[in-house]
Amino acid sequence: MRVALFCADIVAGSASVREGGRSRRCAGFTPVEAIHITTYNGAQYLGDLDRIGTIVAGKQADLVVIKGDPSKKIVDIENVETVFKDGVGYDSAKLIDSVKGMVGIR
């Protein structure tokens, strides 16, 4: 049986990895299994594994730079320093500050 987890894709998909990590940790999966389930299995389930889900030359990828090692300590996945979306790096603290107090779609 394959496990896949889906969440809203917010700023380079960082929310789905973060939420996936939390859920998988509660379900008894290791941090590495949680990351794999959230990325690879999710893309496979959607039928998009040839395009997304792993970091491979030629695939589409939005990336995050994380302070810490979520493969050892899954809560480190919340320490996002930089988000790369469409090849452009964004300071995550500035992004969060720019939307504080906002609710809903603008």
Tell whether 5 is covered by a domain: no
Please state, rounded to an integer, the average pLDDT across all residues of the chain: 77
Tell whether 8 is covered by a domain: no
> The domain containing residue 22 runs over which residues?
14-99
CATH number, domain with residue 42: 2.30.40
Model confidence over 71-89: pLDDT tens digits? Answer: 888 888 889 899 888 889 9
Tell whether 35 is covered by a domain: yes
Determine the pLDDT at residue 11. Answer: 32
- Tell me the pairing of strands 88-91 and 80-85: antiparallel
Model confidence over 52-62: pLDDT tens digits? Answer: 888 889 888 88
24, pLDDT greater than 50: no
User: What's this model's pTM, rounded to 2 decimal places?
Assistant: 0.62
Residues 6+ apart with CB under 8 A from 3: 29, 37, 41
How many structural domains are present in the chain? Answer: 1
Tell whether 32 is covered by a domain: yes
Determine the pLDDT at residue 69. Answer: 92
Tell whether 22 is covered by a domain: yes
